[in-house]
Amino acid sequence: MKTNKLAINGGKPVIQKGLIKSWPPISDLDRKLVMASLEGGKHAHGPNCKAFTEEFAAWNGNKFAINTNSGTAALHMGLVACGLNAGDHVLVPAYSWSSSATCILHNNCIPVFVDIDFATINIDVKKIEAAITPKTRAIVVVHLHGLPVNMDAVMKIARKHKLYVIEDACQAHGALFKGRKTGTLGHCAAFSFNQNKCLCAGEGGMFVTNDEGMYHKARSLWSFGETRSPEESRDYHAYALGWMYRGNDLTAAFGRAQLSKMDRYFKIQREHAALLLDLLKGTPALILPTEPKGHTHNWYNFTSRIDMRAAKWTGEPSMLRNAVMAALKAEGAQVGVWQNFILPRMTVFQAKNAYGKGCPWDCHLTKPVKYDPEAYPVAQHHTDTHFGMTNPLRAPNGKQVVRATARAFLKVFNNLDQLDVEHINALNQK
């Protein structure tokens, strides 16, 4: 068939240019709330910040919430909320966004990495206990790409070893573990409202907890080390080391509008993911994402991997992955590599140069930690073989986009023999 000629080799692309719409959809409600904020005169920490905090807490099922300027800030607040101190060790998965680990450094604590489970791409709960050191006081669990971690297993270990659990739910808005929303399963949690998140406010984040004491500790870090919020009568006295992590009214107004649509977005993403999984089932050499029983994915990212053995590729895995991804892009599919490096390979950990001169690793309050990238083979294998996508599964895109994306995948994976892998990689490096 003529349509079998890959677009990267001169064939006709499967997906028409302009078919896939950008995220997030903007409605009259978004315009109304943002313009009201703009004209309201309170553009720093204003009334929308308070309203967004209350509405998000109610939607997610938390007693306490704090609107922040980023998910990274919310993660740092989580470490402070747990009472962690300089030199404490904190477990974190070896594959995630850098903030999942650098937030630990922000509090002068030491990241200790744990390899991931290949099927779920989340922290391997079976490897957590082996990574615990005498200095370990907490675990940062990342619900990566919107798939919740097995929190029963994590909390059992945490109780046994008296550890705090901080949920990095920055990508997991609305995702469920055994019917409970992420952000309600550990001691505290962080969400992000960055441009590409399932709940987008452009930027921003939210710290959440059900513990009043943790809430007050987090709030002191959030606002210059003060103990009173901007809504209260402030004395402008710093009682502890603090940052300026507050959100702003314009961003909160946008977040409020988008939050009102979240349940509909969640339903659409799950429907589209189910359709795509069905259409791609059995595709040769394609490893599709999984959703274990009891875990409800929000499909922030539809992450696939390539089975190198099935593809009959014996070279560097990333080379074939890069070629496949280039071919998919040529067909019009919006795919990309989410994270090119496992965290232990990043310079900040290899050189231990966070604050300079070996700090905080050389602190007399801690114990030595080694970062050997070879100790995390599953994370590395995932990194070299994965690619993902977000927009095609999201509103305002419909099933037409999902079906077109599936056709692009099928065309490429059924014609892998057409790929000149070395040539494509050479072009990519120019």
Q: What is the pLDDT of residues 354-404, one digit of tens each?
A: 999 999 999 999 999 999 999 999 999 999 999 999 999 999 999 999 999
Tell me if 202 is assigned to some domain: yes
Residue 322 lies in a domain: yes
Q: Which residues contact 137 (CB under 8 A, 6 or more apart)?
A: 82, 84, 88, 89, 90, 109, 163, 164
61 and 197 housed in the same domain: yes
pLDDT at 363: 93
CA-to-CA separations, 405 to 16, 185, 190, 243, 292, in angstroms, rounded: 10, 34, 32, 44, 24
Query: Do 288 and 391 have their domain in common?
Result: yes
Q: In the listed set 215, 230, 261, which residue is the last one of a domain according to the structure?
A: 261
| pTM reported for the whole predicted model | 0.96
Return the closest-CA partner of residue 84 out of 169, 155, 170, 187: 187
Q: Are residues 229 and 277 in the same domain?
A: no
The count of structural domains within the chain is 2
Do residues 270 and 178 both lie within one domain?
Answer: no
Domain boundary among 261, 296, 326: 261
345 in any annotated domain: no
Distances (CA, A) of 306 to 18, 337, 360, 376: 27, 13, 38, 19
Does residue 347 lie within any of the structural domains? no
Give the domain-ending residue among 261, 281, 304.
Answer: 261
Same domain, yes or no, for 131 and 218?
yes
Residues 420 and 291 in one domain: yes
Query: What pLDDT is stored for residue 2 in this prediction?
Result: 46
Per-residue pLDDT, 1 = 39
Task: Quote the pLDDT of residue 402.
Answer: 98
Together in a domain, 17 and 36: no
Both 122 and 161 in one domain: the answer is yes
pLDDT reported for residue 429: 79
100 and 214 co-located in one domain: yes
pLDDT of 46 reads 94
CATH number at residue 115: 3.40.640.10
Q: Are 275 and 242 in a shared domain?
A: no
Query: The domain that contains 423 carries what CATH number?
Result: 3.90.1150.10
Counting as low any pLDDT under 70, the low residues of the chain are 1-3, 231, 430
Domain range for 310 is: 2-24+263-339+381-428
Asked if residue 169 and residue 180 are part of one domain, the reply reads yes
pLDDT of residue 428: 81
356 found inside a domain: no
Residue 236: what pLDDT?
Answer: 80
Beta carbons of 173 and 263 less than 8 angstroms apart:
no
Instruction: Answer yes or no: is 372 within a domain.
Output: no
Q: Do 91 and 112 fall within a single domain?
A: yes
Is residue 90 domain-resident?
yes
